[in-house]
Amino acid sequence: MFATLLDALNAPLFALAGALMAPFERAPAWIALVLWSAVSGGLMTWAFRYTSNQRALRHVSDRIRANMLAIKLFKDELGVTFRCLLALMGNTALRLLHSLPPMIVMIIPFVLILAHLGVWYQHRPLRTGEAAVLELRLTPDAWNARTAVELLSAEGLKAEPARPIPDIERRSYSWRIRPTAPGRHNLRFKIGSQTIEKSVAAAERISDLMPASVLRPGGSFTDRLLYPAERACAPSTGVEEVRIRYIDAERSTPILGIHIPWWGTFLIVSILAALAVKPFVGVQF
């Protein structure tokens, strides 16, 4: 049920992400990342305010500050110092405890945001002419039933060999693919009597901003969550996943020449944005 729900959500969200990213296709990739990280940070701050016990958090924050000041004010009283340190620990734990409810409430939107940002920033597109390994894994049942697998077409791509290389241990078939033109291409497979597709992103320059889906999930819930660009293969196809592997697949999104993982940028920018909007939202973290 959850998987179906997730599949239903992923398609419109992917379309929405595409629309939001569209204005930045020609701009350096980090601009959209910074912008949407900041927007997410602001929105999450607002959400945090209404999903947390602000009064309790404010109280705990005040106690933490008071105990820190007490250490300074009564520095000659060793007993006070240690009592305050203990109180600091206790209040810190309490603060974390009060942060849990908003974390739990926000986990759904936040994981979805991260997953969809990941589609754009986790992997770079393939360069035109660059070789990659295409691997199609089957479920144990499909593998044991010796289901026939065939690559029907690969527009804009060169795939070889014509007969895939099987891997018994991994229950998979592999091809070498090489994009011949930039753009989003589709590979069509025939698995038994059914056909499935897998998209491949190719670009002239790897810095071009476009969604790069390296995996089309099968039945795994985690894969469906983390790779939302393509609809999961139906269980009846017997496909566990279709994956593209290539060297240095992770995208680098340098900001002012500094290489930071995209999620690092997201973390820093969203926190900074949260701190910036804090006085306007009137929220206590």
Residues 105-164 that bind another protein (CB under 8 A): 105-108, 110-111, 114, 118, 122-123
| Choice between 79 and 257, CB closer to another protein | 79
99 is a site residue for another protein (CB under 8 A)? yes
| Choice between 21 and 214, CB closer to another protein | 214
At 177, which helix (H) or strand (E)?
strand 172-179
Least distance from another protein to the Cβ atom of residue 169, Å = 16
Residue list 56-85, contact with another protein (CB under 8 A): 62-66, 68-82, 85
Least distance from another protein to the Cβ atom of residue 138, Å = 18
**Token digits of residue 162:** 């014509």
Do residues 179 and 157 lie in contact, with contact meaning Cβ atoms separated by under 8 Å? Answer: yes
| Choice between 45 and 172, CB closer to another protein | 45
Least distance from another protein to the Cβ atom of residue 102, Å = 6
Least distance from another protein to the Cβ atom of residue 161, Å = 25
234 is a site residue for another protein (CB under 8 A)? no
Least distance from another protein to the Cβ atom of residue 216, Å = 13
Per CB under 8 A, the list member of 15, 23, 145, 221 interacting with another protein is: 221
Torsion over CA: 217, 218, 224, 228 (sign):
positive
d(CA 274, CA 46): 9
Sheet holding 239-245, edge to edge: 157-167, 172-179, 132-138, 239-245, 215-217
Least distance from another protein to the Cβ atom of residue 10, Å = 14
14 is a site residue for another protein (CB under 8 A)? no
Do residues 280 and 50 lie in contact, with contact meaning Cβ atoms separated by under 8 Å? Answer: no
Tell me which residue of 162, 240, 161 sits closest to 196, measured CA to CA: 240
**Token digits of residue 21:** 């990213």
Strand 194-203 to 126-127 pairing: parallel
Binding mask 19-48 for another protein (x = CB under 8 A): ----------------------x--xx-xx
Least distance from another protein to the Cβ atom of residue 274, Å = 3
Binding mask 260-279 for another protein (x = CB under 8 A): -x-x--xx--xx-xxx----
Compute the chain's Rg from CA coordinates. Answer: 25
Q: How many CB atoms lie within 10 A of CB 49?
A: 17
89 is a site residue for another protein (CB under 8 A)? yes
DSSP string covering 176-191: EEEESSSEEEEEEEEE
